[in-house]
Amino acid sequence: MAADKIIIPKNTMMMIHNAWTFAGDNADDLRKVAENLDQIDTAVTESYTSRFVGEREELENITC
């Protein structure tokens, strides 16, 4: 979604998913990892929002 021109044929689908990782540590560090993932998801949603045709809530609901 970062290109000036995006071409997606009609017979394709684009998968949108939330950020994920593997982590192991203590509770405080794991909470920080979760906060970082939330920040990444927010940034990605903002990127998609400028090109998504529909309501923001729809975009947020289709991520998996």
Question: By three-state DSSP, how is residue 22 classified?
Answer: coil
What is the CB neighbour count within 10 angstroms for residue 36? 13
> Is 90 exceeded by the pLDDT of residue 26?
yes
- Check whether 63 has a pLDDT greater than 80: no
Asked whether the CA dihedral 52, 56, 62, 64 is positive or negative, the reply is: positive
Q: Kindly tell me if the per-residue pLDDT of 40 is higher than 70.
A: yes
Q: Is the pLDDT of residue 35 over 80?
A: yes
Query: Is pTM, for the whole model, over 0.75?
Result: no
Average pLDDT for 39-43: 92
Contacts of 16 (CB under 8 A, 6+ apart): 48, 59, 62, 63, 64
Has residue 27 got a pLDDT over 90?
yes
